[in-house]
Structure 1
Amino acid sequence: MERPSASLEFIALAHLLSWALLLNSAICANFSELFQPYWAPDHIVTQGDLTALTLDNVSGCGFESKSKYLFGKASVEIKLVEGDSAGTVTAFYMSSDGDYHDELDFEFLGNLSGEPYLVQTNVYANGTGNREQRHSLWFDPTADFHTYSFFWNSHTILFLVDNIPIRMFQNKEKNGVAYPRNEAMRIRGSVWNADDWATQGGRIKTNWSHSPFVSKFGSFEINACELSPESNEVEAKANCGRLSRFWWNRPSLRKLNKHMRHQLRWVQARHLIYDYCKDTGRFSEVPRECAS
């Protein structure tokens, strides 16, 4: 079976900006306008539309958005570390602050030359994560740029690769499962050393003779409800929660359409490597959100 094409409906909705670009929506590809370094700025280089993050035996590095966002879509193009990237992790994620934070993760787990990258996704709600899935990819993510996106509303969260859903996390608060819908999150990116777990469970360590390890980020696109640093947070959150105001709250986006369900089934059948829902060694009982 060939890789299914991206959903035309989803792409069209994502570009209906004539009515979605209100005062607290944003879309921009300029790194310096949207982001700032939060860790090792000397390891971050921006040139034109591209931002290079470098890991060496001194430090990794990271950036974060100046504003926080509550619901919408955030995308970036990434070209991952080439060659022997064992032990390294490149991350694109969203996170709120504090111990009881919400978080959505893409973590790209490096590997030996010739071995495939794995992408690990995770969802934290109210400070609790442990909801990992790992996927292989149907392309070489070091050969060219590919688009990685979060779509997030009060009903569902989608992790998308080139606008193809690889994971869906639905709101099951009625079953007692916390859902990330109250905390605005910053958008972040980083490259760091995680050779205690990232590659084959930590058996393969980072080979520093191959450093520096460089991942390239570009073409940032944010179409989400923005809480700027000057925002009144209570009022801004109330604004973001108004169901009729923004495109991502349309009833048609509360669940996947038929085409995207087909795409997700294809990814799960061909590329799902690990699913915490089926890990009986970690969980003596099936996590509540995994129940159908």
Structure 2
Amino acid sequence: MARRSLVLLLSSLAVAVLSILQPASAQSAWLDEFTTDGEVRADFDATGKQVASLVLDRSSGAGFNSTQKYLFGEFSVEMKLVPGNSAGTVTSFYLTSGETGKGDDHDEIDMEFMGNSSGAPTVLNTNVWASGDGKKEHQFYLWFDPAADYHKYTIIWNDKNIIFRVDDVTVRAFRRYADLPYPDAKPMAVHATLWDGSYWATEKGNIPIDWSAAPFVVSYRGYTANACVASEHGKPSCPAGRNEWMDRELDDTDRLTVAWARRNCLQYNYCEDGWRFPEGFPGECSRE
């Protein structure tokens, strides 16, 4: 009798646990909205959030990209980067219109994390491309260890500006000017990748990947896209009542955090790189 009661109790507990976990898992299956490339490990963490882990080894990198394309929106994800010696690796979260190749006219908004040798600060590279016009990088040293735990990274994109945020702290805004290129017409998909950037990522390529430490793994969770879904015909479909990002510009708090990031974390600003622009800086540099 006692054994039967124990079995019934365990069965009841199992049903209760499943009833708690299943809805959370179903709601968290954001990876279903993406196609994958390379080795992508999908799992759920203890809180029911879906985790997508990208794996880089000698044979290949990995990535995923959204099946939908968007025209403006707010895009966020939590990431835990490669631990230890990640020199030469590049981890990314970005939007692109998908037209690639030298001399093309694609649009793109980048958050790229450049690997480092153990103990060195991690560099976040932010960049904007409009109709093939790029070279607008601001690079920041992160003020925490991004491999020790998950941190939230956000891109807000509307017809006024592009805002980059780290753990809900605004570090950069790229403003729109009527007479300068700006990504406002080409729908873009969301991408995440982990790849070998040995020629560029760490100290301008001086420190390549140490393949003896492979495989390298970076994890993503908590992805959200509050955005206008592009349509092949007609206007984009925008979420009713959830489009506060459409008019989002810097407020007083944002301006303070941008100034703080410039003073304490900014380690490269294209508007100060005269060697790169011998004929003069891009037009927006004199208006910031």
Instruction: Return the TM-score normalized by structure 2.
Output: 0.83
The residue correspondences of 1:1-292 to structure 2 (distance < 5 A) are: 29-37=28-36, 39-40=37-38, 43-48=39-44, 49-98=50-99, 99-173=104-178, 176-227=179-230, 231=231, 233-237=232-236, 246-250=243-247, 253=248, 255-284=249-278, 285-292=280-287
Question: Matched residues in 2 for 1:249 and 1:215: separation?
Answer: 31
Which amino acid in 1 is paired with 2:254?
A: M
Which amino acid in 1 is paired with 2:80?
A: K
* SS of corresponding position for 1:74: strand
Q: Deviations over 1:225-279 (max 9, x none)?
A: 113xxx3x24134x55x9x9932233xx2x3111111111111110000000110
Query: Which is further off, 187-196 or 127-136?
Result: 127-136
Aligned length: 250
Which amino acid in 2 is paired with 1:117?
A: T
Question: Matched residues in 2 for 1:31 and 1:113: separation?
Answer: 32
Q: Give the percent of matched residue pairs that are identical in Structure 1 and Structure 2.
A: 40
* SS of corresponding position for 2:259: helix
Which amino acid in 1 is paired with 2:73?
A: G
Which amino acid in 1 is paired with 2:283?
A: R
Which amino acid in 2 is paired with 1:256?
A: L
Q: Deviations over 1:91-146 (max 9, x none)?
A: 11000022311100011000101111111111000012111111001111010000
Question: Matched residues in 1 for 2:262 and 2:78: separation?
Answer: 23
- Whether the aligned pair in 2 keeps the contact of 1:30 and 1:220 (CA below 8 Å) is no
Structure number with bigger Rg: 2
- Whether the aligned pair in 1 keeps the contact of 2:226 and 2:243 (CA below 8 Å) is no
Runs of 4+ in 1 over 3 A off after TM superposition: none
* SS of corresponding position for 2:234: helix
Gapped runs of 5+ residues in structure 2?
1-26, 45-49
* SS of corresponding position for 1:277: helix
- Whether the aligned pair in 2 keeps the contact of 1:31 and 1:51 (CA below 8 Å) is no
Gapped runs of 5+ residues in structure 1?
1-27
Question: Matched residues in 1 for 2:197 and 2:185: separation?
Answer: 30
User: Root-mean-square deviation (CA), in Å?
Assistant: 1.7
* SS of corresponding position for 2:111: strand
Q: Kindly state the Cα deviation for residue 29 of structure 1 after the two structures are TM-superposed.
A: 3.9
Question: Matched residues in 2 for 1:249 and 1:279: separation?
Answer: 32
Question: Matched residues in 2 for 1:111 and 1:165: separation?
Answer: 23
Question: Matched residues in 2 for 1:234 and 1:282: separation?
Answer: 41
Which amino acid in 2 is paired with 1:57?
A: R
Q: Deviations over 1:164-206 (max 9, x none)?
A: 1111000012xx3110010111000000001011100111011
Q: Which one has more relative contact order, counting CA pairs under 8 Å at least 6 apart?
A: 1
- Whether the aligned pair in 2 keeps the contact of 1:134 and 1:273 (CA below 8 Å) is yes
